[in-house]
Chain A
Amino acid sequence: MVEYTGKRLIQLNINGEQFSLAVEPQETLLEVLRNQLGLTGTKDGCGTGECGACTVLMDGKPQLACLLLAIDCQQVKITTIEGLSTGRQLTSVQEAFLEEGAVQCGFCTPGMVLATSALLTENSRPSEKEIKKALEGHLCRCTGYNKIISAVQQASAKMTRNVT
């Protein structure tokens, strides 16, 4: 049995908002996001860091929320899928996932979209190899990945076009 050591008050910066939260030391960021804050867009597929569905961005870098303790996430900016777009306006990555048919059951989609956004922020013209490297920790059982690769390429093309 897990031993209780009592809750601690922590500060988390999530999607640009500052939260004061009482959490147990063993609580993961994933649990806090989903259970305390109701940010259920971050999915729990395996709980052991193998499927990628719980990916969030920490200071812009993809991280697995199921492997992070919430108390260790106080000094960083966390972006979940809910913080990626505002209102009904989708990002180029989200649009590309829709247009290329890269979404089926959708359970891996938030993690895939966030990882893709991080990749394209760092490298706006990734090669196919770089795309695969960036998404290698994300399982998708529905699409067979080809349409996901196309979606990343389409988003890249769109973003590059917008810049130039």
Chain B
Amino acid sequence: MGGLDYVGKRILRKDGPLKVTGQATYTVDIRPSGLLTGRILRSPHPHARILNIDISRALQLAGVRAVITAKDAPGIKHGFVETPRYPADQWPLAANRVRYVGEEIAAVAAVDSHVAAEALSLIRVDYEPLPAVFEPEEAMGTDAPEIHPRHPKITDPFSNIAGKTDSGWGDVAEGFARSHYVREDRFQSHLRTHGYLEPQVTVADFESSGKLNVWTSSQGPFIKRAKLARTLGLAQSAVRIHQAYVGGAFGGKIDLFSHEFCAALLSLKSGRPVKIEASRDEIFSAYRHGQPLIVELKTGVKKNGALLAQQIRVINNCGAYRGSGAVIIFLSWGFVMLPYRLPNLKYEGFAVYTNNSVRAPQRGHGAPQIRFAVDSQLDMIAAELGMDPIAIRLKNARQSGESLPNGDNVHNCGLSQCIQKAADHTGFQQKYGRKRSTAGPTDPVRRGIGIGVSSYFSGSLIYPNSSSVVVKMNDDGSATLLTGALDIGQGAETILCQIVAEELKIPMDEIEVIAADTETTPVDIGSWISGNAYVTGNAARVAATEVRKKLLELAAEELEANPDDLVVANKSVYVAGSPDRRLSYGQLIAAGIRKRRGDPLIGEGHWRTMKDVPFHPSLATTKGRWSENYAFDAQVAEVEVDTETGVVRLLRAVTAHDCGFPINPLLVEGQIDGQVSMALGHAFMEEVRMEAGRTLNPSFLEYRMPTIHQVAVSEHIDVITESYQKDRPYRTKEVGEGYVSAILAAIANAIYDAVGVRLFETPFTPEKILKGLGKI
């Protein structure tokens, strides 16, 4: 790996100076002249028929410029998933029926927010309330209220199944029969939300030429353009999504949102730019949250701890529309398949419609929930077998080069090293099972240690399933990088620049990034499904390599040398061994212009996560390949449990991670720390509390996310399984989602180690601990 100047280095964020000085422009900061304020009228009912909507009084209010209802919309549904089995199921504005509290019914555009609010209060909606259902297992009952009567049925006789994944291999019955020990448990996770700091917001500006300009806080401009254009009945070319920085997303800003559709339609109707900004109350009450899973898990093992069979039933409460419900039950299967060798599996996942707000991916998208179940149970199994948690994991961990049951390959897998290194670093085996206390046997505070593992994919075949990058040289030898990638905080602009800087040996500050604009940048996979560094990164590498090749060809002509003898360094090309025979990039570009009549030096690069498109994975059956690139990790948690109060503190989180080649270790650490913090919130504090479809705690004050007082020491151990080699694809891997997952089981296992209380449900509250201790 010698000779690397930019890649693999702790290079500071490209967008950092803009962000620390307040100059970075987010969507909330965009204010075109003539801007109107848009507001949305929402359903107060969890389930009701809409009998009539009267907007006449709102339209008469001075200062109101437009009012829209479903009648003004082209009548096109949308969905997170849109396939023949899972057709779109959601209107951007409710037509005849509302299915959750907060569902969008009408929207207004007015001269300011006060007039807009008054206009909303003047809209009269007549409802006929319908019976509602909120819990998925109730909604699965044959007598449950049917939420989508006309929607194609996924399974009979259940009427509210929004998605079903059936998968498996081997013979589980035979596997259980051969097992030395079989264990069955039920685990449950709870409802959390993303907590992005920048609210959901969209500015839409319809030009008289027919172009709709949109700024929106999102995770990828191309998916937004596709869905927005379609629901508005416009050609994609009529919609332009512009770049703006994004103040956090974590899965909560992917899909089409009604405020985006409404802002656009209000602008089309009023001929003025319209901004809709969701209030924090609206975000907590009516926007998308993460997805709790019920996991029923039966596992059989050999005497030596080797997994023989697993039977899993997962139930997801996906809310009133499918959202990503059908995806999370597919992904949960994948997160079971990945880290441990599993010869026999029967997997069944259900996404169930209920009268709750729609659900979205939230960092990990099923991995935290399913890994909590699997790795908690594995500790119980280890204890029964008299094994320690490290040994049983090493026994089952996947190794490099293994084929996965669906045909994917784990090209390079550092899971065993992750487990071993995390254990060694923390002295795991010396501490585990010691019933440790800080001040002797009468001390009410006990310490425990636990481990979990997880694995994550790095991009998959979901639209737009590839990325392209253009690198353009400028006259002075600097470069411009055009990418559709969107920096949502993870550092996309920085790492793409590092790659181009490395391939072309151009300093970082001489590479200008033009990003995330559907009109001027090439298509990109988007800052979701965890493929950015790998997919867009390789596209950037290919584009830069093409430019380098062109520079070398020019240099070979100009210097009368063999291209193979040329070396690139310091924005110049020179003949190896003859540093005097050198031409700067500026000189070469000038020569190119002279000789080739102005042809600019442009390189283009394209990449997709897999080439075998016909084997696109099926959400229903899991057949087909999923991704070709998997990251692995093991996480150890050390906790302190107060047996008098039931309060648990995460003292230390150690993440041993195989994310392939880290393009920027500083950014990798930032991703890990953020994930540990989000997992800490998941484990102990965060919970969206709902009653009959209403959110009871719709503010940051009541929905408690970790503050600076709740930090845990977060340590990182690199296991690098891929080296960077010039001119060759490199498998840098996912780093933004997977590490939120293993730590949850690690904490649960550490609590058990400390006080012998086994928790089957998140969050790990003092009440549950005290109950487990028999104190309440």
Where the two chains meet, the residues of A that have a C-beta atom closer than 8 Å to any C-beta of B are: 1-2, 4, 34-35, 38-48, 50-51, 53, 80-82, 84-85, 88, 90, 94, 97-99, 101, 103-110, 113, 131-132, 135-149
Within 8 Å CB of B705, what residues of A? 139, 141
The 0/1 profile, CB within 8 Å of A marked 1, for residues 461-503 of chain B is 0000000000000000000000000001111000000000000
B198 in the interface (beta carbon within 8 A) = yes
Roughly how many angstroms separate A35 CA and B195 CA in the complex, as a whole number? Answer: 25
Within 8 Å CB of A108, what residues of B? 197
Q: Are B708 and A105 in contact (CB under 8 A)?
A: no
Q: Are A90 and B279 in contact (CB under 8 A)?
A: no
7 A-B pairs in the complex with CB atoms less than 8 angstroms apart: A1-B121, A40-B26, A98-B12, A105-B247, A113-B20, A136-B709, A139-B197
Roughly how many angstroms separate A119 CA and B304 CA in the complex, as a whole number? Answer: 57
The 0/1 profile, CB within 8 Å of A marked 1, for residues 669-680 of chain B is 110011111100
Within 8 Å CB of B706, what residues of A? 144-145
B667 in the interface (beta carbon within 8 A) = yes
Within 8 Å CB of A146, what residues of B? 673, 711, 713-714
Picked from B16, B22, B114, B196, the residue with its CB within 8 Å of the CB of A1 is: B114
Roughly how many angstroms separate A82 CA and B24 CA in the complex, as a whole number? Answer: 11
Roughly how many angstroms separate A137 CA and B247 CA in the complex, as a whole number? Answer: 18
Within 8 Å CB of A106, what residues of B? 15, 18-20, 24, 245, 247, 489
Q: Are B666 and A101 in contact (CB under 8 A)?
A: yes
Within 8 Å CB of B118, what residues of A? 1
Min CB gap B583→A, angstroms: 32
Where the two chains meet, the residues of B that have a C-beta atom closer than 8 Å to any C-beta of A are: 10, 12-13, 15-26, 28-29, 31, 114, 117-118, 121, 194-199, 245-248, 250, 279-280, 488-491, 666-667, 669-670, 673-678, 699-701, 705-709, 711, 713-714
Q: Are A141 and B708 in contact (CB under 8 A)?
A: no
Within 8 Å CB of A53, what residues of B? 197
Q: Are B489 and A142 in contact (CB under 8 A)?
A: yes
Say whether, besides A94-B20, A132-B708, A105 and B673 are in contact (CB < 8 Å): no
Within 8 Å CB of B714, what residues of A? 144, 146
Q: Are B197 and A41 in contact (CB under 8 A)?
A: no
The majority secondary structure among interface residues of chain A is loop
Roughly how many angstroms separate A44 CA and B22 CA in the complex, as a whole number? Answer: 12
Roughly how many angstroms separate A1 CA and B122 CA in the complex, as a whole number? Answer: 11
Within 8 Å CB of B699, what residues of A? 46, 48, 50
Q: Are A139 and B707 in contact (CB under 8 A)?
A: yes
Q: Are A99 and B670 in contact (CB under 8 A)?
A: no
Roughly how many angstroms separate A143 CA and B680 CA in the complex, as a whole number? Answer: 13
Roughly how many angstroms separate A140 CA and B709 CA in the complex, as a whole number? Answer: 12
Say whether, besides A99-B12, A141-B674, A144-B714, A48 and B21 are in contact (CB < 8 Å): no
Q: Are A98 and B709 in contact (CB under 8 A)?
A: no
Roughly how many angstroms separate A43 CA and B198 CA in the complex, as a whole number? Answer: 8
Within 8 Å CB of B20, what residues of A? 90, 94, 97-98, 103, 106, 109-110, 113
Picked from A2, A42, A101, A144, the residue with its CB within 8 Å of the CB of B711 is: A144
Picked from A2, A47, A81, the residue with its CB within 8 Å of the CB of B22 is: A81
Q: Known contacts A34-B29, A141-B197; can you find 19 more A-B pairs with CB under 8 A? A: A38-B31, A41-B21, A45-B199, A50-B701, A105-B198, A107-B248, A109-B20, A113-B20, A140-B708, A141-B195, A141-B248, A141-B250, A141-B674, A143-B674, A144-B673, A144-B706, A145-B677, A145-B711, A147-B669
